Amino acid sequence: MTRIDDPTFRLRDEHTAPALPATPKTGLHLDKLHRPTLKLADYIHAELAKPPAAVSRPHPGFQWGMLANDRIGDCVIAMMLHSVEDFHLDAGTPPPAFSDQDAISIYSAITGYNPANPSSDQGTDETTAMTYWETPGLSTSDGVDHKIIATVAVDPSNVNECRIAIDEFVDLQIGVALPLTAQGQTEWTVLGNGKTGNSAPGSWGGHGIPYREYDAETFKCVTWGTELLLTVPFHQAYAQEAHVVVTQEMLDKSGVGPSGVAWDELIADIKALPKQQAVGDPAGAL
């Protein structure tokens, strides 16, 4: 990871416009937003909450897989698997080579999807998926059950908080209500008024994606087997839910992180919560 203090740095300058699938799928349910019990804002020391101007996470030679999201609505599962890959990339350890079949198997286990019955492809919500990620975990072809310890809510309307989350937790899990105007765009920008017609939130569908980089103008996410930029106004218009995940490895953190997260306080509260509430309480609210 590169923390960049130059406010003029732009991800676009080092970014190649992605080649997107002809029929990309969505699949996130937006009628049941994920509301974790713990809130990142409670653990950010205001006087230290100064994320860098940009965060860049280059990964020479690594290829993101499609994870079947060009054929089925398993975007939330793709988001989770891409985050596992990203944790390894950020730590400098070999990332797993996840396959379409890994994603399909997990999607089937979580939702009951049956590849022989296309009508069973109904997507999922992030609360259900995060609960499964905790227990039993994501069983994949690398022989590992990938698990998380907790999820922590991030306010999607607070751009600075989102940047802190990316800097300190590697990936920010986002649920975005895509408009039809985003179809075919290789950088998501707001077209129209962002509220009605083809510009209306969710008119295309709900989509789960991980943000992994940012600068003053954009965020960079992973979706449909590639990296895609979206503008801050697009995020502000369409992001509906946001959270970070805490892994077992993160429980070794201590002190105050580089962008102001009080890790000792956060980890103590995670350990004090019942397991179900640590991952997410559907009754909770931001």
Q: Tens digits of per-residue pLDDT, 167-218?
A: 999 999 999 999 999 999 999 999 999 999 999 999 999 999 999 999 999 9
Measured at the CA of 211, the angle between CA 183 and CA 51, to 5 degrees, comes to 135
Q: Can you give the pLDDT at residue 71?
A: 97
Taking the C-alpha atoms of residue 273 and residue 37, their distance in angstroms, rounded to an integer, is 9
Tell me: pLDDT of 281 over 60: no
Burial class (CB in 10 A: 0-12, 13-18, 19+), 153: buried
What one-character DSSP code corresponds to residue 194?
S
**Nearest of 248, 32, 27, 245 to residue 127 by alpha carbon:** 32
Q: Which CATH class is domain 6-273?
A: alpha beta
- The three-point CA angle 42-167-219 to 5° equals 110
pLDDT, tens digit, 9 for 90 and up, residues 70-110: 999 999 999 999 999 999 999 999 999 899 999 999 999 99
When pLDDT is cut at 50, 70 and 90, the band that residue 286 belongs to is: very low
| pTM (predicted TM-score) | 0.95
* Chain center to CA of 148: 14
pLDDT at 34 over 90: yes
Bridge partners (DSSP) of residue 152 are 244
